Structure 1
Amino acid sequence: MNRLRALLIAGSGALIWIRWQRIWDLLQAGDFSDRMAALAALAAPLVFALGRLPDRWKRARLDASAWVVLAILAAALLAPVLAPYDPTAQLDLANRRLLPPSPAHPLGTDLFSRDLLSRLLYGARLSLWIACFSVAIAVVVGTGVGLAAGYLGGTADALIMRLVDTALAIPRIFLLLVVLTLWEQGGIMTMVLVLGLTSWFGTSRLVRAEVLSLKQRDFVTAARALGIAPIAILLKHILPNALAPVIVTATLGVGQIVLTEAALSYLGVGVPPPHPSWGSMIADAQPFLPTHPWMAIVPGLALAGTVVAFSFFGESLQAKLDPRRR
């Protein structure tokens, strides 16, 4: 090891300087141990670089997924500018039904002569709007329940967590289908509320676990000793330190809600027509798969790409924010 150190000079950061002439001399005239040390010195930069690959891959994945998420959000926000037509307008039922992609209609038209590119962009806008508001509801409710259960402890904690476990045991898709079928006239806001109020259970468990750990810390004990009110301790001292898993859960939840909303729209109980939705676009294209496959492929790829992008972004954020995974 001493011989190896003598052959390397550690520079600033990740830079390693190698004593090339000394290594060459050892390879030419040194004994067996000298030659092994020289070979190890030559391999040191490669080993060092390979050891840093996981960190670079995490940073690259975070950057790439962030750019993809930003591009999706920009396309959704700029849908009124980017879309060439009204997504619900039936342009010409006699002559523009089921047109293939063309300069006038880059993705073609559907059975009702509606432009598919316009419906794709507005579908992204509506899906992300539903997902963001549903996730906001889930985060607020889940964080509040988790804070209360974790800080109160004892019987209150046990009762709240048993209720959460009971809710988790109910198949969510079945619950959504029943509620949305019974209140099918409620529209999009009903779906947002139902999705949000059935998505907070996991968030509450994560927040509770963080609170159980944080309330044993010295700064919380000191706050109690100073006579600070429990609600102030929760909001000013515990909540800011428990937000990291909430942010990750919210990011992952956007992709999950987008997928759930598309599934519900595909089954006919999600976004009501004629509003565009990726799920309803796939359902409308199903009879024409043999002759017009792009009608289903394009919204399917958009849906899959959005879910994967938000999943990668959430996992990369988790690796970035969680010190145990650095």
Structure 2
Amino acid sequence: MKWLAGLLTLALLAGLGGLWWLHQPLDTGAGQPTLDLSIEPGTSPKAVAQAVVDAGAQTSPLALYAWFRLSGQDRQIRAGSYEIAPGTTPRRLLAMLVRGEESLRTVTLVEGWNWRQVRQALAKAELLKPESQSLSDEALMARLGRPGVPPEGRFYPDTYSYAKNSSDLKVLERALKAMDRQLDKAWAARSPGVALKSPDEALILASIVEKETGKGSDRAMIASVFHNRLRIGMMLQTDPTVIYGLGEAFDGNLRKVHLRTDTPWNTYTRAGLPPTPIAMPGKAALMAAVQPASSQALYFVARGDGSSHFSASLDEHNRAVNRYQRGQKPAD
């Protein structure tokens, strides 16, 4: 058998020089910084050895296969996407394949991003197969097993690693399941009497808290304001929902006319929560939405340093607006 010839070759090498071949760098060819090696699940050790040669390594597949067998680790080789760098020896190659040291890339989904920004990030991700690009939102969510569910806010913001040439649908599937887990944990830990009826409402409110928060320590108070408004039937009147409803038409300057322009997400013209999240909330925003601070605050205004001033009455709020937004000194 041919593999026996490889075994005999290694045995001869062992007798002549202590398996020196195992420590000699594989020839990866002139001008090749790295060789890409892809091993599918179920690939036999012999086929793995041939795949290394097919990837461009100038060596004997029989010798490689013989080494795999002699090592006793031939059945421990893991499927994956690998890079064979110049200087890699047969010994190092096998260790890499057994440990599953794949050549991974990463893509980061940022807290507060909307679905359009997620799509853009995936499209720009290095060596990520763009299978989602040709799919409508509806078709994409159906592929992920959530037909009829809008994608906005459904993916957890985090950094995801992936093997070269993986499908972006796999990344989205992981992000979707991660958000499911975080939302389930948050909903299970909700405070008694929160003004929310379901995990979906918690996700929507968390997305608003995420967009409204300039300083992390204010999240629970911002959530408290919206809970208090929901309890008394007061309009949420939050600018980020208006901006979201304007979509790509928003030029960065929110005007009074926009506050009067009705969309399903305009919380100045429509009561209650908007129909979908407006962004991806992180863990802190999810927890703030279900564990708001205990307060009577109904208003807040940015101080200009990232933090917010909270008020329980409109008069107090107007004074805070004059002070922090208009630069007027409070009366003595």
Higher relative contact order (CA 8 A, sep 6+): 1
Shorter-normalised TM range:
under 0.3
| Greater strand proportion | 2
Q: Which structure dedicates a bigger proportion of its chain to helix?
A: 1
Per the normalisation by structure 2, the TM-score is 0.27
TM-score using structure 1 length: 0.27
